[in-house]
Structure 1
Amino acid sequence: MTEKFENFEKQRDFLVCVDSDGCAMDTMDIKHERFFGPFSADVFGIKDRETYLEDWNRINLFSSTRGVNRFKALVMALLNAQNRGEDLGDITALKNWAETASSLSNDALEQLIADSPSEDLEKTYDWSKRVNHAIETELVGEDRPFEGVKKGLAHITQLTDVAIVSSANKEAVESEWIRHDLLDSVDAFYAQDRGSKAEAIADLLTKGYDTKHVLMVGDAPGDEAAADENGVYYYPILFRKEKESWDRLVNEALPKFMNGEYAGEYQESLKKEFHDLLSKYD
């Protein structure tokens, strides 16, 4: 991580926070379809892979749980599989950790296994490491930003501070943004290793921003929840409509945000459109 990210301080009055996977980077579908889902089916010995993988994609890509933390998603998918009759063994330790831990990351999981080893936690750690390794080694040349992102970020960073706020693996996000020359438009970087998105926004607010001057840009309900928890604004990137969403962000939403016209009816109309899209798949 570069020194500018480690020592970030507020430069402008406004801040735009941007999620990575599925929001700025067109990597979310391929990561889940090629790595997250299939690797979890392998590690936990899923028999009916077709049904399991269909459910995995619904949970992570096409429903109101889109973008949920990988470990929470794993628990959801495994519980659904158990309810369909899959024999997965005891996953109580995993379920308890995913539901109660303040930090859900590989480092936190590794420490838990050292303190309280269990087969389900060890399988989960193996799965998560395999996913990270595959993303870092097999996606080079296939990852790309959505159309409009590079130009959009270059415009936004002329007007506001910009922070990456992602729950994805730090190394993967960093390599993707470097590879596509996006980091020049970024002032701060928060990934999985620095806690939840809500915690990231809370930390950014300590830099001196007014909550009315902070906008979270994301593609999932978790992004909206992180914004709401901190009392800042939310702008949705609609899946399958990413270019249109980025164009609207730059040309319509950003001016309203900076002119004090974002709150109320305008933001609510954007949120309604976002939830109406997600609800089609629940």
Structure 2
Amino acid sequence: MTTQAQQDMLAKVKQEVGFIAALDQSGGSTPKALKLYGVEENEYSNDEEMFACVHAMRSRIVTSPAFDGKRVLGAILFENTLDRDIEGKSSARFLWQDKHVVPFLKVDKGLADEKDGAQVMKEMPELDALLAKANAQDVFGTKMRSVVKLANADGIKAVVEQQFAVGKQIIAAGLVPIVEPEVDINSPEKAEAEALLRSEILRHLDALAPDELVMLKLTLPEQANFYQPLIEHANVLRVVALSGGYVRDVANQRLSENNGMIASFSRALTEGLNAKQSDDEFDSTLDATIQGIYDASAT
């Protein structure tokens, strides 16, 4: 990546108003995403056809006139999407060159089994090769997800330690990691888990060198502005919110109450879109969705 492109992407993510589109459903979540989009499982017969269907959905979203860099800061891609083209360009390059949308790549390989009320990420032995591929395609940053289900100090510590250890590997490769320790919205101990998580993240942020920048992707908190100390931290480029299963109206309302936090929605972004819609219907639905998420992110 040219230094200029990197600087332009960094400035955009740091300074501009907008949100990050999460277009990174992977193998396990793809059938559900397609079903919500109106594509039934009998419309594809194997993984290759399934991924072709979901790539068609993502391509339709990002090539829509409603999807533009004025409101959308960035987009998170799945590796399979990175390997495919949109309008004759690699997906990541199309996003930046044609839409002025900063490309990110999901790098985790899914979740390990639950332990101490949390799920760390599975091992990523091929991460260096994936980061090299991302760099070769002008990707700006990465995203990786863990899950916290209970207010268990050991589980939360394990999640955050792993996230920051892998984050440093990503920083060393010249990319900006989005650290995502999701708190399950259905946790019976959600507020308590968020308190433990905030403390643990702050401890790791304080240990970073001044030039080690990260982004954080967090569940919308029970207490408005609870993550303000993270938003204001010198090592944090941006704090983004996941919708986590909240319907879009609820997610937008919660987001609007958290100043300085911006959206990185997946299901809430594609809610209401359907493969059978005409282009006009699709574009107007997407336009209204993007405006709503943008407005909630602008508070």
Could you state the TM-score of these two structures normalised by the residue count of structure 1? 0.35
More helix by share: 1
Give the number of the structure whose alpha-carbon radius of gyration is greater.
1
